[in-house]
Structure 1
Amino acid sequence: MENELLQQVLQELTSLRTDIKNVHNNIQSLELKVDNGFSNVDKKLNELAKDISHVISDDVSQAISSQLRDIRTEISIIKSSVGEHELDLKYFKKVTIPTFNSPRS
C-alpha cells in the first residue's frame, strides 16, 4: 500500500513537473514574441520619427523659402522706393527758390 501511494505521488509529481515545463516553455515563447513585438514597434517608431522629421524639414524649408522670397520682394520694393526718393531729391536740388525783394520803405 505504501509503495502504491509513493507511485501515485511520484506520478503526480512527474505530471506536475511536465506541466511546469510546459508553462515555462509557453512563458519563454511569449517572452520571445513580446520581445519581437517590441523590436517591431521600436523599428516602426524609428521609421515614423524619420518620416515626421522629413515632413517637418520639408515644411520648415518651404516656410523659410517663402519668407526669404517675401523678404526679397520687400527689399526690391524698398530699393525702388529709395530710388524714387533720390530722383525727387535731385529734382528739388535743381529747383531754385525765388527770392522776393520787398521794397524798403
Structure 2
Amino acid sequence: MVAARGRIRVERLVTETGWSRKRLWSRFRAQVGLTPKRVAQLIRFDHAAHRLAAGHRAASVAAESGYADQSHLHRDVVAFAGMTPTAVALSPFLALDDVAWRHR
C-alpha cells in the first residue's frame, strides 16, 4: 500500500493474500485498527500533503496522487487535516519532514 502511495484497489489485496474480501477487512482491522480502504486514503493524503508542502500546485498534486480532481483532493485535505490545501502547503512541520516520501 505504501509503495503504491495508497493507489491500490482492495481487490488487488484480496488477490495477493488469497483471502476473501471479508476476511481481509476483518484481519486488517484487527491488526491495524482501520479498514484497508481508510489506510489507503490516509497514505494517499499523506503523500499529497507532502507534495503540497514541497511547493507543487494542487491540481498537479491531485492528478499525480490519484485523486479524481482537485476538489476531491480539497475534500480529503479538509477532512483529514481540518484545513485547506493552501494551509497544508504552508505547514512548517511538513516542510521539515525529509524522511517521508523522498523523491528520486
Task: Provide TM-score, normalisation by structure 2.
Answer: 0.24
Q: Which has the higher contact order (CA 8 A, sep 6+)?
A: 2
Instruction: Decide which structure has greater helix share.
Output: 1
Larger-Rg structure: 1
